[in-house]
Each structure stands twice: as C-alpha cells, then as structure tokens.
Amino acid sequence: MHNTILLKHIFINNRVHPSVLAVLITIAVLVPILNLLVPPDSFFHLSSYSVTLFGKYLAFALLALSLDMVWGYCGILSLGHAAFFALGGYAMGMYLMRQIGDRGVYGNAELPDFMVFLNWQELPWYWFGFDQFWFAMLMVILVPGFLALIFGWLAFRSRVSGVYLSIITQALTFALMLAFFRNEMGFGGNNGLTDFKDILGFSLQDDSTRSVLFALSAFALAFFYVVCLLVVNSKAGKVVTAIRDAENRTRFVGYNVEQYKLWVWVFSAVIAGIAGALYVPQVGIINPGEFSPLNSIELVIWVAIGGRGFLYGAIIGAIVVNVAKSYLTAAMPDAWLFVLGALFVLVTILLPNGVMGLIKTKPTKQADINGVKPHEST
C-alpha cells in the first residue's frame, strides 16, 4: 500500500520526474537512430563524435546525480567524489586493457604494453580476473563501494563533518592521484590506460558500439534516477534529509545517524563508480588526472548550478556546464576559467539553490540546507 502511494507521489502528482525519464528514454532510442539509420548527408544525421560527446555528458550527469545524493540530501560536501568515478573507470579500463591481448605494440598476450615497457615479467595479482567482464563489472561496484565504506566508517564514526570532511575527502583524492601517477602501482602511471580495442568482442571504434554505449548511459541514468527517487522518498531517505537539516536533533530523536550517513555515502560512491565505467569506453582513456581535486570541485559546481536536492537539478547542471565548457574551451580557451570562476562566485552568492531553485517556487530554508546553523549575526 505504502509503495503505491509512493509511486503515485513520484510519478503522477509530479510532472517533472516523468518528463525527465521520458526525455532520457527518448534520446536513448532516438540518438542511435539518428546516428546509424539516418544517411550522413541528411540534416538530421548525428555524427559519431557528437554521440560520444553526449555519452560523456550523460556519464557526468550520473556522477552529478551521485553527488547530489550525498550533498543535496545528506549535507555531506564531498570534494573527492571524482575519486570513486576514477576508480570505477580504472576497473573498466583494466578489463578493456586485458581485451587488447596480443594486439598491443609489443604483442604480449598476457601483459599490457606499459608493463612490458617497464620490464615486468608477470601480471600483478590485482590484475587477475579482469579479463572476465563480469568480474570487472563486480569490481566497478565493489572497489569504490569498499573504499567509501572504509573511509565513511572511519570518518562518520568519529563524527568528522562539515568542512573537515570536505578537506579530508580532497586529501583522499589527492593521495590517490599521487599514488596512481607512480609507475610502480601497475596502472600505467602518468599515461594511464588507453589504446583500447574492443568491449565484449565489439570494436570500440564502430559507430554501432558507440551508439549502444550511449543508449546504455542514458538507460543507466534513467535507472539510477528512479532508484534515487525511490530512496529519497523512502522512510530512510526522509531520515537522511533530516540529518541534513538538523543532524543533532535526528541523533537525539534516536536514529543512528552514522549508519544512515554511511549507507548513503557508499550508495553514492557506487553510482559514481558506475558512471566512471560508462565514461571510460566512450572517451577511450583513463589516467590519474581524473583523480585531480579540480575535477571533484568542478563536479560540485555542476550540482550547485543545477540546484542540489532535486536530482534533476544535478543532471541539468552537469549537462549545461559541460556543454558550455566544450563550447568555450574551443571558441575562447582563455575565457573558460573566467566563466567557471564567475559561475562559482555568482551561484553561491545569488543562487544558493541553483537554477532549479529559482524555477521551483517552493520555499526552502536555505541556511539549513548544508546542515550548518546560520551564523549568530549574519
């Protein structure tokens, strides 16, 4: 009974969520058709380059969705979420690397090129199993999830919160970046993993594979959108929102705040990892630069611009900012950082609830949204 009310609440009484889903499913079907079936000289033809580019935006949107879960609904500002994204990406990259087989430059069937180059004799133990697709996919979920579990368990248990948590998440991704830059780690060092050939036997260069990957990204985004909606509207989701608005009050009412936080945190990390796994086969490379703190902070601004705490705000923010970035970095390379910087400043001062917050008229107590009490005087 409760479930039907919930579903009705989400999909019938609300006009936004069904339209978001409809758009996602439409493009998942339409884009491959426009790319594969419409002749190249037609006005409606979509180039493979655009398909891959949009596919990338969708992976970013999924990442933004995952951040919105922790920041928008639980008030945890993670400045290291790109770490989970990159870890998922690396797990996928390792599978793709093993798929190259003896088609690499050195023709070694067992070892990836960079290991041959470094004179390694055998595969490190942590590379075993990555020739199996199912194992790699398991790792896409388990590795970010496990890291989040350990990190979150330590951090929430000792009640590290607010700014401190943000800074140590940033330190986490920074440390991972430094670690992955080391050749000794066995993840390709500076160059990362690249030169991928095919996935499950389908060539990554084929238009059809690219279209399928795009459609998969759109479906994954739609799927997790629904999952997140169900989560935030569930009873547990309400507790999480309560933690965001008044952590101590929730604790004193009798909820185990740390458990809820940890649960949302791990859930969010897993989604971020999946986004990374969708991102890597489309762009064809994963390197330690993905761990850079700047990436994580850029992610935060996508969500901030779209508006946190709406789910679709994060998706729209990610897509709008990335489209603007692609356009500006090509048209006016010097201007991009000015624009991005100005966006940070203006959005935080003028639009505390993002663009979606402007459109949506529902009044929110903006000072409470990040779980920090307003300053006594200001």
Computed on alpha carbons and rounded to an integer, the radius of gyration of the chain in Å comes to 21
With respect to another protein, which residue has the nearer C-beta, 79 or 286?
A: 79
Tell which residue, 277, 77, 306, 291, has the closest CA to residue 196: 277
Closest to another protein by CB, 22 vs 372, is 372
Contacts with another protein by CB under 8 A lie at 77, 79, 151, 154-155, 157-164, 166-168, 170-172, 174-175, 178-179, 181-182, 247-248, 293-294, 297, 300-301, 304, 334, 337-338, 340-345, 347-349, 352, 367, 370, 372-378
Q: What is residue 199's three-state secondary structure?
A: strand
CA–CA separation, 267 and 321 (whole Å): 25
Which of residues 29 and 342 has its CB atom nearest to another protein in the complex? 342
How far apart are the C-alpha atoms of 75 and 199, rounded to whole Å? 38
Smallest separation (angstroms) from another protein to the CB of 378: 4
Segments of 266-314 assigned E as strands: 285-286
Min CB(176)–another protein separation in Å: 9
Nearer to another protein, 113 or 298 (CB): 298
Least Å from the CB of residue 87 to another protein: 16
Tokens representing 302? 């996508």
CB 376 → another protein: shortest distance, Å?
6
Report the nearest approach of another protein to the CB of residue 249 (Å).
Answer: 10
Tell me how far CA of residue 171 lies from CA of 70, 167, 251, in angstroms: 18, 6, 28
- Contacts made by residues 18-24, CB under 8 angstroms, sequence distance 24+: 20/225, 20/312, 20/315, 21/222, 21/225, 21/226, 24/218, 24/219, 24/221, 24/222, 24/225
Please state the closest distance from residue 294 (CB atom) to another protein, in A: 8
* CA distances, 78 to each of 42, 151, 322, 358 (Å): 45, 12, 20, 24
Pick 235 or 375: Cβ nearer another protein: 375
Helix (H) or strand (E) holding 202: strand 202-203
The residue (of 44 and 252) whose beta carbon lies closer to another protein is 252
| CB nearer another protein, residue 104 or residue 317 | 317
Smallest distance, another protein to C-beta of residue 373, A: 7
Scan for tokens 């060539």, then name that residue.
Answer: 203
Q: Indicate the residue among 9 and 182 with the shorter CB distance to another protein.
A: 182
When the beta carbons of 183 and 234 are compared against another protein, the nearer one is 183
The least distance separating another protein from the CB of residue 123, rounded to whole angstroms, comes to 22
List the beta bridge partners of residue 343.
none
Strands 193-194, 198-199: parallel, antiparallel or unpaired by DSSP? unpaired
Please classify residue 39 by burial: count the beta carbons closer than 10 Å to its beta carbon, then call 0-12 exposed, 13-18 middle and 19+ buried: exposed
Distance (Å, rounded) from C-alpha 353 to C-alpha 366? 7
CB atoms within 10 A of CB 271: 28
**Nearest distance from C-beta of residue 239 to another protein, angstroms:** 18
Q: Residue 94 and residue 97: Cα distance in Å, rounded? A: 5
Minimum CB–partner distance for residue 334 and another protein (Å) = 6
347, 304 contact by CB (below 8 A): yes
Quick one: 183 or 233, whose CB is closer to another protein? Answer: 183
Are residues 209 and 202 in contact, defined by beta-carbon separation less than 8 angstroms? yes
